[in-house]
Structure 1
């Protein structure tokens, strides 16, 4: 019996797989699991159904052409060749192409990109800018031969002839359209436009592919001026629509947004006229109030006001001084009267009127007899006058 090595057996089986034409270019439907996007660019995963599974690998040379990122749980149809990996002795599918089962790869790629940009804040309402009501210069990024441009021109010429339209032509379909749109948006921003309309007529999802690219989304988001996206018809919402500052359902609707009709303009003029009158009235009232306050301050701090104020203070002090002087005089008068009353009560005259007399010798009052001698001349003061007398002894009487 022939004895073979493991390598020989695996290689033999590998040749058998390669010789079987039914295992070449096979299409397998299943659910993705254990998916790994290796840093080398290769995809490794397992395809399974309810009863079985098979390993799969998709090398970088084929993976770069996939328009979406495969995920676990996704139902797909994989196309490729079944062969044996000789080193491990296992067979697997070498995938050359893969598409979602039931929905297109373009749709899947678009949804995945939306989720990514949503996390990065590209669609945040807080980042949206206001669209100017009366733009002077309106940039239009679209095909120069498309119907979208004619619709915009017709609307603006009828509703808003004072606006200047600046066309920045771009490819809106096919290979290179995403780059063309991105460059046109940057160029339009350099033309000092007040607003930019990114426009295209309707089309299939595949036709709108450039407007569902990351490059165009960032070009819209990073535009130096507000962008109105008017791509497709009302039911078609692209990533460019979500990234723009405003989405218009059609190019004609975008033109109406940036233009003001005569009726609207007249209404705006009347509104702003009344608003201006109110502002002027408020300004005048404020100015009058300010003038009154300044006049009051000028009066308060003027020399004349200070002089008059000092005169009033002087008059007040004079009155207070007069009042104080009168009070002091009155107090002294009262004290004087009181003292006079006290003095009168203690006056010797009153004592004399009661029958008493005062005896003086040499102008000195004599209070006892021991101070008198025979022959002294004395004065006797009584209530009604003074008499002189001489001191004599009893023998002289």
Structure 2
């Protein structure tokens, strides 16, 4: 019996397929699944129908000529040839051209459900809730053995060790997965979680079917706790993602969204410390200013201050009184001196000194001759003294 190597077998099968003219130019109708547009420019995907599937590849030289971007769930007709990828021993369709053949049933069903839920308000941005920045308890609804859970645990243990992680295992694939996911979300909300991460690793459109159900969409939307959906790869967008309060491209990214790194915590603490210091300093300065104003008012209205003010006023009034008094005395002195001067000018003595005399009879001045009679004794007052005389005779003018 001939012993062949694996390479020889794969090469032999490849040769046989190439010999088959029917497989050298085929047209295959199927639904696209697991589509990947590689950064190299090649398209990798699976074509499937109700009973079977076959891998397909479309190299960059042909992919660049396609007028549309193939998507999962899209029904297409692919032209190409069937051959073997010898390294893996896998036969596949090497596609040279591809045209749409209508959307697949799964894709159409998803689009119809999306439109229904959109009209019912499950995707409204106004209904989205804020994700807490520093949750105390983080709930995770996912497979208990999947890679998604390990990714979340690794991120949280590194970035946010102070957060408590509560895992609620759920089936994420299969006919009963939608019920399991819905129960997990309800249990997490009842367990006093501050936020819930709904997570699953990547997969085909069929693998993600539970997350495209109405039941899971309403479980996410009606959750009493904010939900972050992290289902599939970054390019996978499920109905659960659209109903969630926040969508994360991967489970690891979801863990980062609910956690604060040690560096960020330190920066936040330093920021709030500076802010607190500034606020306290501002309050102290405000109180000092108020205290200074109150002290000033207290001094202004204190008895001591009033006494000092009254003393100052008294001294000022005393000075003004003294000045007024001196002014009055000065004016009076001037008037007195002026009056004395006038009196001296009008004094009889001054008149006598000019050669005049005053005649008195019975201590009364005699102004007229007819006031005297012969024999009357009179006193004649002169400037240097007084003499007595007797009237011998009188003569009127």
TM-score range (shorter-chain normalised) is 0.5 to 0.7
> Are the counterparts in 2 of residues 200 and 251 from structure 1 also a CA contact under 8 Å?
yes
Task: Please name the residue that 1:316 is paired with.
Answer: 316
Distance 1:210 1:249 in 2: 19
Partner of 1:325: 325
Tell me the CA shift for residue 102 of structure 1.
Answer: 11
Q: Structure 2: how far apart are the matches of 1:319 and 1:295? A: 32
- Report if the CA contact (8 A) 1:137-1:194 is conserved: yes
| Other-structure match for 2:373 | 373
**C-alpha distance in structure 2 between counterparts of 1:375 and 1:179, whole Å:** 168
Cα distance in 2 for residues equivalent to 1:236 and 1:394:
162
Where 2:367 maps in the other structure, the secondary structure is: coil
User: How does the TM-score come out when normalised to structure 2?
Assistant: 0.59
After TM superposition, give the deviation of residue 253 of structure 1 in Å. 0.7
| Deviation at residue 262 of structure 1 after TM alignment | 3.0
Instruction: Indicate the residue corresponding to 1:340 in structure 2.
Output: 340
Change (3 A) 1:186 1:103: closer
Contact 1:141 1:169 survives alignment (8 Å): yes
How far did residue 291 of structure 1 move?
4.0
Distance 1:231 1:275 in 2: 39
Distance 1:350 1:195 in 2: 127
Structure-1-length-normalised TM-score: 0.59
Q: Give the match for residue 96 of structure 1.
A: none
Q: CA deviation at 1:194?
A: 3.5
Matches within 5 A, 1:104-143: 104-117=108-121, 122-124=124-126, 128-129=129-130, 131-132=132-133, 134-143=134-143
Q: Secondary structure at the match of 1:124?
A: helix
Distance 1:211 1:171 in 2: 16
* Structure 2 alignment gaps of length 5 or more: 1-102
Please state whether the residue corresponding to 1:334 is helix, strand or coil. helix
Aligned to 1:196: 196
Q: Is the 8 A contact 2:135 2:163 kept in 1?
A: yes
Aligned partners of 2:321, 2:154: CA distance in 1, in Å? Answer: 94
Whether 2:303 is the aligned partner of 1:299: answer no
Inter-partner Cα distance in structure 1 for 2:270 and 2:386 = 119
- What is the CA distance between 1:151 and its match in structure 2? 1.9
- Root-mean-square deviation (Å): 3.9
Could you say if the C-alpha distance between residues 377 and 156 of structure 1 is closer, same or farther in structure 2, counting changes exceeding 3 Å?
same
Q: Given the alignment, which residue of 209, 219, 227 partners 2:212?
A: 209
- Describe the SS at the equivalent of 1:374: coil
Q: Distance in 2 between matches of 1:345 and 1:245?
A: 121
Segments of 5+ residues of structure 1 without an aligned counterpart are: 1-98
Per-residue CA deviation, residues 21-73 of structure 1 (Å, 9 max, x unaligned), is: xxxxxxxxxxxxxxxxxxxxxxxxxxxxxxxxxxxxxxxxxxxxxxxxxxxxx
Aligned pair count reads: 290
- Correspondence 1:1-397 to 2 at 5 A: 104-117=108-121, 122-124=124-126, 128-129=129-130, 131-132=132-133, 134-169=134-169, 185=185, 187-203=187-203, 204=205, 206-210=209-213, 215-216=218-219, 218-220=221-223, 223=224, 225-238=225-238, 240-242=240-242, 244-393=244-393
Q: Distance in 1 between matches of 2:301 and 2:370?
A: 86
Alpha-carbon distance, 1:187 to partner? 5.0
How far the C-alpha of 1:309 sits from its partner, in A, is 3.0
Paired with 1:384 and 1:243, the residues of 2 have a C-alpha distance of 141
* Partner Cα separation in structure 2 for residue 173 and residue 347 of structure 1: 146
